[in-house]
Copies of this chain bind each other. A is one copy, B any other.
């Protein structure tokens, strides 16, 4: 009878490091359904002898899977395949300039209106801030190859983002500026559909009553509102790539 462990099989396959191979091996069993949700994964000691390595190594593999929400580890009980309650995916939203650039189209930007004012009740409600001093209100238009791509209506809390006072939004779109200068901790997106009113239709060069996609994004840093933005896209498809976690 052989003393060979699965380690040989994995090692012979190719290069990646051992813990990564263990991770991939377990991931495979979960994704193929061999180990369905709720299934108890072998104890670390069993995996140690199965793969012929130390506990730290299998633990590292399991930790990464746990961080990726694929498994759940419970002391004394063991490690279990998580029951998916959500289609969990990583959503990456580029800022519009980068997005248009990635499409190989020329980016155009036009500042329509930019004003600084003391926040009124509507501004505070929109930002979700109880009290605020000054805000910047911006309206602008993004275009790709000189065709209107989206219009943007944004409010920035100047107390939370004082650096914004010095930014030149006539030349740099506020989304890009914020993305590269202002760290954030939470964001919430609300996606909906509307039909273009007269104003939006004129700005986007589409018919009144044409469908538009709306993305409302609120951004916070440690629960403090930073900015609220509404983006209006002509109804043509706007793509979001969502991949299973764990590269």
Chain A residues numbered 190-241 whose CB sits less than 8 Å from any CB in chain B:
190-195, 209-214, 216-217, 221-222, 233, 235-241
A211 to B210, CA, bound (A): 8
Say how far A89's CB is from chain B's closest CB, in angstroms: 5
Contacts A191-B213, A195-B195, A239-B190 given; does A88 touch B91 at CB 8 Å: yes
Judging by beta carbons under 8 Å apart, are A192 and B236 in contact?
yes
- A145 close to B (CB within 8 Å): no
- A243 close to B (CB within 8 Å): yes
Segment from A9-17, A152-160, A176-184 that makes contact with B? A176-184
A217 to B241, CA, bound (A): 10
User: Which of B184, B192, B240 contacts A238, CB < 8 Å?
Assistant: B192
- A187 close to B (CB within 8 Å): yes
Contacts A187-B243, A195-B209 given; does A93 touch B89 at CB 8 Å: yes
- A98 close to B (CB within 8 Å): yes
Given the complex, which residues of B lie within 8 Å of A221, measured CB to CB?
31-32
Name the residue of chain B whose CB is nearest to the CB of A211: B193
Q: How many copies does the complex hold?
A: 2
Judging by beta carbons under 8 Å apart, are B211 and A194 in contact?
yes
Name the residue of chain B whose CB is nearest to the CB of A237: B192
Judging by beta carbons under 8 Å apart, are A84 and B192 in contact?
no
- A104 close to B (CB within 8 Å): no
- A64 close to B (CB within 8 Å): yes
Judging by beta carbons under 8 Å apart, are A183 and B31 in contact?
yes
Chain A residues numbered 18-64 whose CB sits less than 8 Å from any CB in chain B:
30-33, 37, 64
A238 to B188, CA, bound (A): 12
A160 to B192, CA, bound (A): 33
Judging by beta carbons under 8 Å apart, are A213 and B242 in contact?
no
- Taking each of A89, A193, A214, which has the highest tally of chain B beta carbons within 10 Å of its own beta carbon? A193
Name the residue of chain B whose CB is nearest to the CB of A89: B91
Contacts A90-B91, A194-B235, A237-B190 given; does A37 touch B180 at CB 8 Å: yes
Q: Please, could you name 17 A-B residue pairs with CB atoms under 8 Å apart, sorted by A?
A: A37-B180, A83-B180, A86-B93, A86-B98, A87-B92, A87-B179, A87-B187, A89-B91, A184-B244, A187-B243, A187-B244, A189-B241, A190-B239, A192-B238, A193-B214, A211-B211, A211-B212
